[in-house]
Amino acid sequence: MKTKRSIALALPAAALALLAACAGAPPPAGADPLAGFPPLAAASAPGASPAARAYAAGLARGVNFGNMLDAPTEGAWDLRVDDRFIALAGLPGGIRSVRLPVRWSNHASPDAEARIDPAFMARVDDVVRRLLARGVPVVLDMHHYRQFDGDAPDAGDAKVPDAVVDQRFFAMWRQIADHFRDAPPALAFELYNEPHGRLTERWNDLMSRGVRLVRESNPRRIIVVGPTQWNSARGLPTFAMPPDANLVLTIHHYDPFTFTHQGAPWIKPEMPTGVGCCSARQLADIRAPLDMAQRWSAGNGYPVYVGEFGAFDKVARDDRNRYTRTMRDEIERRGMTWTYWELAAGFGYYDPVVGAVRPDGLEQALFGP
């Protein structure tokens, strides 16, 4: 009679990895740690379904609820998703969609099982449901899983063993997808924000595995995916769209970077302020990535959604407004939709201290006639 140990030794490495993934433990030495999360079968991407095209169009003009649930803990970056913000969604002439960035990784157990804190899941669920009740589509995004990109954790982040980083990504998505499996179709999933670093050569494979995993519980839900290089359109030449029709492509666009991020304290060395907009060179920098995404869309048959763009508040008011209106017009001229980064922090147009829209004209540049 075989002992449990001898039975385990008789199993193939892939089966051992699958058992380890299910148990929330690192896989045995030599096993494929991702064997339990296979990619989609190799095939050509079929182009977007009518549902995906309708969803992308319905995103229209939106905003990111940034620096809220994507902070290490909600409130750590001075913002929480409160009633005032939710009440702005769906108002005539204003926010028509919300992208909701969430730092799931810091609210999950540090092992391969990545068990999401039920209280945090309930918090995200409450925000999603309240936004959907206001009649706006919501793009629920996995944001700032720093180790997944190979970046150093933020202050307040819990570091996890390197061996389980990738498994945790899939384990979290399995829980998220299952929790929201019965949500209205106005909720979309965005697999990951701005892949870069250690993901640069691996993202196509990991993305395919992620789409297949979500499809286990959400066979028709819209999934938003984007290229590496922080979702820049410059990552599109090496981007492989998964063979699934219910997908929307996202890009992020902060060019010209020396303008949009002037004075931003997290950029080292800090870039000088006083840069205006919009010169002929700057206009070329704005248009080129959008043209690249438009050509990709025409050649591959999927709609493009600009999930982030914006300028930091150290930019002079008139230049910031001019840039914002220019970006809005250039995006929409190409038939794309967008969500501005972000509502109420350093890029935002809403003053959370005063509890009102800032009287600087930025909201008008985004949503005005």
Round the average pLDDT of the chain to a whole number and report it. 93
Taking only the tens place, the pLDDT of each residue in 114-123 is 999 999 999 9
Q: Kindly state the tokens that stand for 88.
A: 């702005």
- pLDDT at residue 28 above 80? no
Span of 2-6, 134-138, 143-147 with lowest mean pLDDT: 2-6
**Contact predicate 224/303, CB 8 Å:** no
**49-367 CATH pick, 3.40.50.620, 3.60.15.10, 2.30.40.10, 3.20.20.80:** 3.20.20.80
- pLDDT at residue 221 above 80? yes
* pLDDT in the model for residue 190: 99
Q: What are the extents of the domains in the chain?
A: 49-367
State pTM to two decimals: 0.92
**Contact predicate 88/51, CB 8 Å:** no
* pLDDT in the model for residue 31: 78
- Percent of the chain at pLDDT exceeding 70: 92
**Contact predicate 69/57, CB 8 Å:** no
**Contact predicate 105/167, CB 8 Å:** no
Taking only the tens place, the pLDDT of each residue in 274-284 is 999 999 999 99
- Please report which confidence band the pLDDT of residue 26 belongs to, taking 50, 70 and 90 as the band edges: low
- pLDDT at residue 365 above 50? yes
- Is beta strand 350-351 parallel, antiparallel or unpaired with respect to 356-357? antiparallel
Taking only the tens place, the pLDDT of each residue in 250-276 is 999 999 999 999 999 999 999 999 999
| Rounded alpha-carbon distances, angstroms, from residue 362 to 66, 104, 258, 343 | 17, 31, 19, 11
Taking only the tens place, the pLDDT of each residue in 190-218 is 999 999 999 999 999 999 999 999 999 99
* pLDDT in the model for residue 29: 62
